[in-house]
Structure 1
């Protein structure tokens, strides 16, 4: 017999909860479409479509975010570095990593108790997995 229920659908929220926050290496996280649509986020981590657009544009040409900073939820982060898939920033002792896949962008922050490299690896690994699977 074939199941009669709906087909399996992936939960973007489980990626945020289990593969980012659940690792202990990420404090706040989100996954957005490259169009700025919010797919999933941790509590209190609000990313606007305009903020996503500026960050994605900063991967191709970082001059705007180098000069003006990176904004997430209206909060300013100091630009640290970028390449064609990554933007990194910091605010005090906290850090921000944004990594682009094909159709989505993975955001992760860490507080002062978490090493930035661990957060970067965690966010990058999920983005790479999504990238390699066409997302």
Structure 2
């Protein structure tokens, strides 16, 4: 169900970003993208361009290229620590991002120091496991 006041973002998906990711205190900003395109939900102030969305979707198909080139999210360039068909772990100085693909969506969680990668990773990976178990 689209929310006309929130630029077409999906109302139900926004709660996953606000409560499950950002509400954990371990993720500073989050987003959920549809694998077929479009942003389903995003934190206020996190703008992911159409080009960045396309690169993120492609990153799961070209993990070697992702390892070599990194990814841009919200205008920020991250280098890749690890990439496979499900998860991509990114770093930018002491901050980072976790990008996880589910059956129908792509979860993005950004974290800032002093949060450490393992703390943020478990939040995004566990939410991905839940969504996969629910068919998403």
TM-score range, shorter chain: 0.7 to 0.9
Conserved? CA contact 1:35–1:49, under 8 Å: no
Match of 2:44 in 1: 43
Structure 2 unaligned runs (5+)? 1-9
Question: TM-score, normalised on structure 1?
Answer: 0.87
SS at 1:60's partner residue? coil
Shift of 1:24: 0.5
Distance 2:113 2:96 in 1: 8
Distance 2:50 2:102 in 1: 17
Aligned-partner Cα distance in 2 for 1:72–1:10: 22
Quote the residue 2:7 is aligned against: none
Gaps of 5+ in 1: 1-8
1:90-101 matched pairs, under 5 angstroms = 90-101=91-102
CA distance in 1, matches of 2:56, 2:82: 12
Q: Give the deviation of 1:79 after TM superposition.
A: 1.0
User: Given the two structures, how large is their TM-score scaled by the length of structure 2?
Assistant: 0.86
Match of 1:124 in 2: 125
> For the pair shown, which has the larger CA radius of gyration, 1 or 2?
1
**In structure 2, distance between residues paired with 1:30 and 1:78:** 19
Conservation of the 8 A alpha-carbon contact between 1:86 and 1:97: yes
Size of the aligned set, in residue pairs, is 127
Task: Quote the Cα distance in structure 2 between the aligned partners of 1:92 and 1:36.
Answer: 29
